[in-house]
Structure 1
C-alpha cells in the first residue's frame, strides 16, 4: 500500500529531474561556447565604439554602448571566477547565472552595435578641422599685461627701508586664475629687486611637503656655500635655525607660492624672522584672512584685480601671437571683444580662449566660437561662472584620447597631489575603451606620455623634482576640476558625492546628480567631519539589486568620532562588480576591515593607504584577481602594529605590493609567504623578521624591492642573498 501510494510521487520526481537535466544542467555545458562568442562580440563592439567616438558620435549612444561593454566584461570575469571554485554546486550556480545574463545581453549588444554603425547626426558644435588639436597656453610667464601698477607697488613694498613701521611680509591674494604666480615671477625678475637683495628662494607650498623638506629647499637656495647633501644630513631644528640665521644676516627674498591654510604657515613660520633683519617674504594665496594670519599688524597685502577691457584685449593678442603692426580687421576685432566680455577679465579664461582662436584665422571661425559659447550661456545652471563656459569650450576641443584620462582626475579631492605611478595603475585597471588603444607597458611607463599635452597646455599642473626635473605629481586647478566633474556627470563616466557641505543629505544626493544609484559606474565620496552624515551612503544602499559600481573612492577631510568599518561592510555586499577600491586617509575609522571584502572577486586595485586599520580579514585570500595592493595603513592608538593574515601568496596575479611599515601576522610563529607571486614587480616594506626570506628567490619578475632593516640586519641580508644565490633579472646586483 505504501509503495503504491508513493509511486505517483516518485514518477513526478523522476519527470522533474529529467526536465532539470535536459533543460537546465546539460545546456550549462554549452556556456563555454557562449562565452567565447560573447568575447568576439565584445571585441567587435569595442572597435566599433572607438571609431564612433573618433567620428563624433552622439553622447547617449556612446554612454549606452560603454555600459553594455562593462556588462559584457562582468559576465566574462564571472565565468573566469567559476574555474577557480572547488564547490561543484557553486560552480553550477555561477554557470546558470552566466547563461541567463548572456541571454539578456545579446539583444542589447545587437542594438548597441547597430547604433554605433549609424553615422552621427550633425550638431551645433564647432566645425571640425583637419588641423591638430589646439594648444591652450597658460598665462605666459614673461607677460604681465595690465599688472604694471601691481609690479611697481609690490617692488616698492619689498625695497622699503627697514623701520619699525615697515613690512617684512608682502602678500598677493585673489581667486584662482588671476595670475598670482605669474606676477610673483615678474616681481622676482625685476631689475630693482635683483639689485636690492643678495639671495633669492622660490618654494611652492604643495600638499604633502614636510616642514623639513621645505626648509631644506629654501636653505639650499639662500646658502650657496652649503651643498644639498650637507643640508639633507641636518636635523629639522638645525635647518630651521640656520635658515633663520641667514635671513637675519643677509638680505634675502623668499617667495612662498600657493599658501593654502593657517596650518601650513604655522609649521614653517619659525624659519622666518618677520619683524627682524633685512630679509623679506613674498606670499601668494587665495585667502586674505590667511595673509592677515601671517602678520596682522605690518602686512602689506595686494589684491589682484581682474583685467580691464583693453588689458584683456592686449593679453589676447599676445597669446594668439598677433603682432601689433598687423592688427585685426574690424569684424574680427569686434568678435574678439565680444568673446572677451564672456571671460570677465580673468586671465585664465583669456588664455584658454586665446588657445582656441590661435588655430583659427578667419572671421567665420571666430564667429562660430562666439556663437557656440553664447548658446551654452543660455543653458547655464545657477552658480556656474563664465570661466567654466570657456573651459567647456576648451574641453570640447581636446583630443578624444585625452578626455577620459582628464575626467578621471576629477575623482580625487581638491588640491590632491596624484603620482604618475598611481595614475598608471588605475588607468590600466580601468581598461579605458576610448580610444581602443593600449596604454604603454609598464617598462616604458609613464603617465607623462599621456598627460604631457595637458601639462604643456596648462590644464594639468605638475610638481617637479628640482634636481632631476622629473615630474613628481599632478594636480588640477579648482576650475578645471569642477569642469571635469560636470563633464563626467554629463557623460555618465563618474560622480562625486561631497558630504562636507552643510546641506541636508537628500539635497546632497540630488545636487550630485545621483538619480539612479544602481547605474553609477564610478563614485568618489568625500566624507565630512560628522559621521552621522555618512548616512547619505544609505541612499546608495537602497538599490534593490547589486550596484554596477566599478570604482569607489573614499576620502576623509578631517578625523571624526563614530565612523566604523561596519558601515563599509554593507557597501561591499552591494558592490559585487568593484574593480577599484581606494579607501585613503580615513584616520578615525574604528574596528577591523569586514570579511565581506572577500566577496569582491573582481577587484583589481585595493588601497587602504593612511587609513586606520586594526586587523585585516582572512577573506583577503579570495581576492585572486588583485594586481595592486596597498596596505600602508595607519595603526590604531591601542595597537602599534596591524594584524595581517598569511594569505597574500594566494594572489597569484599580484604585481605591486605595499606592506605596512609596522605589522604582525595572525600567528606570531609564522612569517608571510610570497612563493606563488611569480608576477610581483614591486615589493615595498619587506622585513626579514616578518617575511620569509627564502621566498625572494621565487620572485623572478621583481623590479623594485624596498627592505626595512637595521645596519646589522642589512649585512646579514646581503650575505643571505649571496649564499642562497638570490638574483633578480630586473634589479642591478650592485
Structure 2
C-alpha cells in the first residue's frame, strides 16, 4: 500500500483507536507523522497500543518508539513489549502456522487450552479466563486480524499480520518457544552455550511442513506439540505420523506430547500405540478423510478435545463415552443407536462442553446417561423422531440450563426431515443460538422460546400461521433466517415496534409467500436483507421504511417486477443492492411427515 498523507494517517488512526476522549486525537497528528511515516500498518498497530492507555499518557508511550528505517517494525516491537505476560505466548503461538494462513477460531482456542495458555473448563473457577477474552484483547490491540466474521459479528477465522512472521516470530523460534520444519530446512533452537546450566536445544512445539525424516531421537525427547501442515496431494496415506509416535514411545523417558494436530493431512496412519500417550489433550483429525481411529484413543486419560469432523468415521470407540476429561467432541453424524447404547458406560463424560455431530436413531441413550451431560454449552444433534419425542426434547428443555447454542434436526427412517415436537424452552435462559430443522407445531409462540435468543434459524418448519408477530417480540433477536419451507403462508406482517434489535434477515425459498408488510417502526436497526427464490413475492408494503438503516439488499432469483420497483425508488439509492441469477436444482418434493 502507498504511504498515507497526514490527513489520511490521522483519519485511519481515528478509526482504529478506541477511546472515549476523542478530543485528544487531533493532537496526535504530528506524532503519527513522525513515528509512522504514513505506513498504514504502523498506524493501525499504534492505534491498538494506545487504545489500552489513557490519552494523557499517549505522548509518553510514543516517546518510547525509536526512529528506524522501518517504522512498522519499531511500532510493532513496542506493541509486543507492551503486551501483558499472559497474552505474549498466545500471540507467539500463531507463529506455528504458515504466513498468511487462515486459522479457524475453533482450532486456535482448543489449542490454547490444551497448551495451558488459557485456563478454561466448565467448572467456573474464579481464576479461569475464556480464550474469547484473550482473543478480543489481541484484536483490540490490532495484533491479530479477523479474516472472516459470522453474521452476529463473532469471528470465524483469523490470521497473524505478516510483519509478525518477519520480525517477532523468528525470535520466538530462536528462543525455543516453537520450531518450524520446512521442505528445505529445520529451524531448531540453537545449541546452548556450554557454560549454560540449562539446555535449550529441545523440540517442544513443532510445526511440520514436510515429513519427519530429519528428526533425531534426541530432538523428540521433549516434544509437546506436533502440528502438521503436510498437505500433499494424492491418495497415499501419511505414514510418517505413525513413525513419529513409535519413535516417541520407544525412547527412554516419559512421552510429553499433549497436542497432535493433523488437520487436512490425508489419511494419517495411526496405530494403537497412540493410546500410550498419557498427556495427550488435543487430537485434531478434521478433514483427514480417515475411515476409523484406533480403539486406544478412547483410553487416553488426559484427552480434552477430539475432532473427527469431515472424516469418513462412522463409529467411535465405546470408551470415548467414558472419558473423564473430554470437553470438546466434534463429529460428522456419528451414529449412536442400539448396538452402541447397550455398551455405553453407566456414566457420561462429566466435563463435556461441546457435542457436535451426533446422530441418534430410534433408540436413544438412557435419560440418566443424558442427564450426566449437564455442562453442555454447545449441542448439535440429528435425531430420529421417536427419540426426539420420548427422550431428547424433554432432556434439552428440562436439563440443559447452560446451553448457549443448539442445532437440532429431526429425521424419519429414510433420513428425510420429520416433525420436531418443540416444547417450552423458556427455562433455557442461556440459549442465544437456535437452529431447528423439521416441521414444528402449528403455532410457534414466543412464550415457547427463551427471551435470550440472539440468532434463530428455521428450516422445513412448515409453519402455516405467520410467525413474525410472535418472533418480533423477542427482545434480543439480532439474526433471523427463515429457510426453505419454514413458512407456508401467502402473507407475512412485521408488526409495529417488532424486532427492535434485528440486524440481519434472510428469507430463502418461501414458495407460497406473495405479500410482505412492514408496519411503522418495525425492524428499525435492520442492516442486511437477503431474499432468495421467493418466486411469488411481488407485493411489498412499508419497505421504504427500511432505507434509513439498511446497508445491503441481496435479491437472488426474484421476480423482475420486485427488482424494478426497488431500483426506481429514490430512498434506496444509498443501499448496496445486489441482484443474482443463479442456477439451482429444483427443491425436492415435500415427502416428510407433517
TM-score, length-scaled by structure 1? 0.44
Q: Is the 8 A contact 1:642 1:664 kept in 2?
A: no
| CA-CA distance at 1:315 after TM superposition | 6.9
Q: Name the CA shift for 1:306/1:617 in 2 (closer, same or farther; >3 Å).
A: same
Query: Do the aligned partners of residues 723 and 424 (structure 1) sit closer, same or farther apart at CA in structure 2, a change above 3 Å counting?
Result: closer
Q: Which has the larger radius of gyration?
A: 1
1:571 aligned residue: 244
Whether the 8 Å CA contact 2:309–2:332 is kept in 1: the answer is yes
1:306 aligns with 2:12: no
Which residue in 1 is equivalent to 2:261? Answer: 582
1:476 to 1:467, Cα distance in 2 relative to 1, 3 A: same
Between 358-367 and 608-617, the greater mean CA deviation after superposition: 358-367
Aligned pairs (5 A) from 1:232-243 = none
Aligned equivalents of 1:616 and 1:412: distance in 2? Answer: 25
Q: Distance in 1 between matches of 2:362 and 2:209?
A: 35
Match status 1:626 vs 2:299: no
Partner of 2:153: 469
CA contact (8 A) 1:460 1:477 kept: yes
Check whether the contact 1:555–1:583 (CA below 8 A) recurs between aligned residues: yes
Query: Displacement of 1:605 after TM fit?
Result: 1.6
The Cα of 1:563 is off from its aligned counterpart by: 4.5
2:195 corresponds to which residue? none
Residue 672 of structure 1: how far off its partner (Å): 6.3
Q: 2:86, 2:267 → 1: CA distance?
A: 38
Shift in alpha-carbon separation, 1:432–1:618, aligned structure 2, 3 A: same
- Cα deviation, 1:343-389, whole Å, max 9, x if unaligned, reads 5x42212443566689687999766532xx54xx7xxxxxxx66334
- List aligned pairs for 1:217-236, cutoff 5 A: none
Q: Which residue of 1 aligns with 2:93?
A: 408
Contact 2:298 2:317 in 1 (8 A): no
Map of 1:298 onto structure 2 = none
Q: Is 1:520 matched with 2:203?
A: yes
Counterparts of 1:103-142 in structure 2, within 5 Å, are none
Post-superposition offset of 1:601: 0.9
Decide whether aligned partners of structure 1 residues 674 and 553 sit closer, same or farther in structure 2, where only a CA change above 3 A counts: farther
Inter-CA distance 429–314: structure 2 relative to 1 (3 Å threshold): closer
Matched with 1:678 is 350
Whether 1:719 aligns to 2:390 is yes
* Shift, 1:577, TM fit: 0.6
Q: Secondary structure at the match of 1:661?
A: strand
Q: Deviations over 1:504-556 (max 9, x none)?
A: x3xx214x6576896122122234xxxxxx2xx2222x124752121221124
Contact 1:603 1:626 in 2 (8 A): yes
Question: What is the CA distance between 1:584 and its match in structure 2?
Answer: 0.3
How far does residue 426 in structure 1 lie from its aligned partner after superposition?
Answer: 2.8
Evaluate the alpha carbon distance shift between residue 672 and residue 453 of structure 1 in structure 2; reply closer, same or farther with a 3 A threshold: same
- CA gap of 1:390–1:497, structure 2 versus 1, over 3 A, is farther
Query: Alpha-carbon deviation of 1:311?
Result: 7.0
Gaps of 5+ in 1: 1-177, 179-304, 378-384, 500-504, 528-533, 636-640
Secondary structure in structure 2 of the residue aligned to 1:569 = helix
**Alignment match, 1:347:** 40
SS at match of 1:657: strand
Whole-Å separation in 1 of the counterparts to 2:320 and 2:28: 68
Partner of 1:647: 319
Distance in 2 of aligned mates of 1:405 and 1:687? 35
Larger fraction in strand: 2
1:539 aligns with 2:214: yes
Which residue of structure 1 aligns with residue 82 of structure 2? 397
Which segment drifts farther, 609-618 or 717-726? Answer: 717-726
Asked if the contact 2:202/2:219 (under 8 Å) is kept, the reply is no
Looking at structure 2, the residues matched to 365 and 687 of structure 1 have their Cα atoms a distance apart, in angstroms, of 55
Cross-structure match for 1:89 = none
Q: Do structure 1's residue 449 and structure 2's residue 128 form an aligned pair?
A: no
| Greater share of residues in helix | 1
SS state at 1:708 partner: strand
Corresponding residue number in structure 1 for 2:270: 593
Q: 1:346 to 1:701 in 2, by over 3 A?
A: closer
Write the deviation string for residues 670-695 of structure 1: whole angstroms up to 9, x where unpaired. Answer: 76625432332322222224986224
SS at match of 1:454: helix
Kindly provide the CA deviation profile for residues 588-614 of structure 1, in whole angstroms up to 9, marking residues without a partner as x: 336x42222111111112111111212
Q: How has the CA–CA distance of structure 1 residues 409 and 690 changed in structure 2, closer, same or farther, with 3 Å as cutoff?
A: farther
Alignment correspondent of 2:288: 611
Deviation at 1:626, TM superposition (A): 0.8
**Does 2:370 align with 1:699?**
no
Q: 2:223 and 2:204 mapped to 1: Cα distance?
A: 5
SS in 2 for 1:480: helix
Query: Compared with structure 1, are the counterparts of its residues 523 and 686 closer, same or farther at alpha carbon in structure 2 (3 Å cutoff)?
Result: same
Structure 1's 441 and 668: CA in aligned 2 closer, same or farther, altered over 3 A?
A: closer
Structure 1 pair 351–469 and aligned structure 2 pair: CA distance change class (3 A): closer
Q: How does 1:45-64 map to 2 (within 5 A)?
A: none
Q: For structure 2, which runs of at least 5 residues remain unmatched after alignment?
A: 193-199, 249-254, 404-422, 426-594
Deviation at 1:390, TM superposition (A): 3.5
Corresponding residue of 2:484: none
**What are the equivalent positions in structure 2 for 1:137-286 lying under 5 Å apart?**
178=1
Match of 1:431 in 2: 116
Distance of aligned partners of 1:692 and 1:671 in 2 relative to their CA distance in 1, 3 Å threshold: farther
Deviation at 1:420, TM superposition (A): 4.7
Structure 2 residue matching 1:469: 3-state secondary structure: coil
- Flag the 1:671–1:553 CA change in 2: closer, same or farther, 3 A: farther
Secondary structure at the residue paired with 1:404?
helix
Relative contact order (C-alpha < 8 Å, sep 6+): which is higher?
Answer: 1
Tell me, what secondary structure is at the counterpart of 2:261? strand
